[in-house]
Amino acid sequence: MNCLKVKDLCKTYIVNKRQNNVLRNVNLEVQEGEMAAIMGPSGSGKSTLLYAVSGMDSITSGKVDFFGKDISNLKPEEMSHLRLNEMGFIFQQMYMLKNLSIFDNIVLPAYQSKEGKESRQEINERAKELMHKLGISDIAENDVNEVSGGQLQRACICRSLINRPKMIFADEPTGALNQQNSKEVMKELNRINVEGTTIMLVTHDMKVAAKSDRVLYIEDGNIKGEYKLGKYTADEDIRERERKLSNWLGEMEW
């Protein structure tokens, strides 16, 4: 089943009184349970596409269906509600509120959500469970400044999962991490995906993209092609997937 269906999506910015088309008639679909990666050169419109389809940014024209619901013309409050309860976001900068502890940052969206009937006690339990799964239980009471980048990004993943979203949007989730941390974060994203959460991510990193089910290549605001890698399993040779992807990207002249 399609959980995300994008049709003729256009996004235009006005720069120096001139129209600047960032996205031109983008069409794409993401299946439920899929992990789709968007790749492309700098300035090709990857992040803009991610923000446009997730409702973080307005679109100029076209249509975006999220689980059968047209979200292209939702009011800001409706969009906020959707982001809070049905979507999760992970950013390159691992941004968290500096005045809150890691644990408080994680539970924040759940406390804000009025969707579930859970008590704060139950939310706390779920957050602890998530942190345990991602191996960061020991930093719960730490300040944002006290933990490493990898731990912080895993905490951001916990935050994105706290409201049991239907889909996660990740913008360069490993962009600011070293190789080891990057590996750990991708491991967690893969695990979450296997557990049933749909993921759409933007990346420059071949190693990251190689772990996704499908790669969409975008250039000049348009999707030039897609490459299906299939579901990644732990026993699979990642280098082989990387090689195949690299070849395909070569064909795409990247």
Q: Are 141 and 94 in contact (CB under 8 A)?
A: no
DSSP summary character for residue 166: S
Rounded distance between C-alpha atoms, residue 158 and residue 206, angstroms: 24
Contact flag: residue 7 with other proteins (CB under 8 A): no
Q: Are 72 and 61 in contact (CB under 8 A)?
A: no
Question: Which residue in the set 117, 121, 233, 234 belongs to the binding site for other proteins (CB under 8 A)?
Answer: 121
Reading the block at residue 84, the tokens are 């809070």
Q: Which secondary structure element, helix H or strand E, spans residue 244, and what is its range? A: helix 238-251
Question: Which residue in the set 17, 42, 77, 235 belongs to the binding site for other proteins (CB under 8 A)?
Answer: 77
Contact flag: residue 120 with other proteins (CB under 8 A): yes
Number of Cβ within 10 Å of residue 98's Cβ equals: 9
Q: What pairs with residue 88 in β-bridges? A: 168
Total residues contacting other proteins (rule CB under 8 A)? 47
Scan residues 164-223 and list those touching other proteins (CB under 8 A). Answer: 171-172
Contact flag: residue 83 with other proteins (CB under 8 A): yes
Rounded distance between C-alpha atoms, residue 242 and residue 205, angstroms: 10
Contact flag: residue 225 with other proteins (CB under 8 A): no
Contact flag: residue 80 with other proteins (CB under 8 A): yes
Contact flag: residue 51 with other proteins (CB under 8 A): yes
Residue showing tokens 């469970």: 129
Contact flag: residue 56 with other proteins (CB under 8 A): yes
Question: Which residue in the set 44, 47, 72, 181 belongs to the binding site for other proteins (CB under 8 A)?
Answer: 47
Residues that bind other proteins (CB under 8 A): 47, 51, 56-57, 76-77, 80-85, 87, 89, 91-93, 95-101, 103-104, 107-109, 111-113, 119-121, 124, 127, 141-143, 145-146, 159-160, 163, 171-172
